[in-house]
Amino acid sequence: MTQTIKVAAIQHSNSSDLNHNQDKTVLGIKEAAKNGAKLIVLQELHRSLYFCQVESTECFDLAEPIPGPSTTLYGQLAKELNVVIVTSLFEKRATGLYHNTAVVLDTDGEIAGTYRKMHIPDDPGFYEKFYFTPGDLGFQPIETSIGKLGVLVCWDQWFPEAARLMAMAGAEFLIYPTAIGWDLDDEQAEQQRQLDAWVIAQRAHAVSNGLPVIACNRQGHENDPSGQSKGIQFWGNSFITGPQGEILAHASNNDDEILYADIDRERSESVRRIWPYLRDRRIDHYQDLTKLYRD
């Protein structure tokens, strides 16, 4: 297995036209593969607009099974282009049971594994608890032909426990398909604080686990269908770091972009030897982490 791998993250805006969104994603994958990427990460729920701005039963029509149309399409692309693709979809597991799910397609076109989003937000404009049942697959890396992928999704990126458990299970990369943006009523200084916190949190996961991070976010303004707010300005800023949290590539906040970075897996080995966090963990005193709160 090669020690250096080129990875790509495809950041783009979305519209109400599902076919248009799919075409944009497919073209991005083909371009990334043409430029040598072997691991290609897509943003969260890239097939449609971010429908969780409102609670509407009609939006369940967007859900699909696994395997299904999306996994078939991206599986065929993965095989044709000899790449690994991390896609994101609205999974219909059963009538009345849905998940926000990431699927990894390996170079043979087969589903290497799935991850169901574990942490589900419920905030103004992000009403995900209406749509998604929390994941039940745990924090298990997905084995692929290019290594073990620790795939998490959006809100998961704020929780150090999720990144740590993936690292403890042998993940070689931490990957976050994302859909996050600004409330347009917030002042600019607050918007900057939120963006900075988002980047800092994920860079910290890279540092504390000695692993590269790939965070792929959508960009562009999407209207609130209810008209009760100004909608969401997704802030883009997708980025890729090395195992010390160093920025290897960073996208803008308002452009469709494909980010590329060469990841040297030997650096994770070297960094972990210098900063042996796993060695020095005091698991004999961490029992209270299993409590919701220490009263």
DSSP code string of the chain: --SEEEEEEEE----S-HHHHHHHHHHHHHHHHHTT-SEEEE-TTTTS--GGGS--GGGGGG-B-SSSHHHHHHHHHHHHHT-EEEEEEEEEEETTEEEEEEEEE-TTSSEEEEEE-----EETTEEGGGT-PPPSS-S-PEEETTEEEEE--GGGGG-HHHHHHHHHTT-SEEEEEE--EEETTS-HHHHHHHHHHHHHHHHHHHHHHT--EEEEE-EEEE--TTSSS--EEEE---EEE-TT--EEEE--SSS-EEEEEEEEHHHHHHHHHHS-HHHH--GGG-GGGGSS---
Indicate if 154 belongs to the active site.
Answer: yes
Average pLDDT, whole number, for the chain?
97
State pLDDT tens for residues 63-104. 999 999 999 999 999 999 999 999 999 999 999 999 999 999
Q: Which of 6, 24, 92, 117 is catalytic?
A: 117
pLDDT at residue 273 greater than cutoff 70: yes
State pLDDT tens for residues 131-154. 999 999 999 999 999 999 999 999
Give the pLDDT score at 127.
97
Mean pLDDT computed over 249-253: 96
Give the pLDDT score at 1.
65
Indicate if 59 belongs to the active site.
Answer: no
Q: Which of 24, 154, 222, 257 is catalytic?
A: 154
Confidence of residue 295 (pLDDT cuts 50, 70, 90): confident
Mean pLDDT computed over 196-207: 98
Give the pLDDT score at 46.
98
Pick the CATH number of 4-280 from 3.40.50.150, 3.60.110.10, 3.40.980.10, 3.20.20.140: 3.60.110.10
Mean pLDDT computed over 241-261: 97
Indicate if 52 belongs to the active site.
Answer: no
State pLDDT tens for residues 93-145. 999 999 999 999 999 999 999 999 999 999 999 999 999 999 999 999 999 99
Q: Which of 44, 128, 222, 257 is catalytic?
A: 44
Return the domain boundaries, the chain: 4-280
State pLDDT tens for residues 150-184. 999 999 999 999 999 999 999 999 999 999 999 99
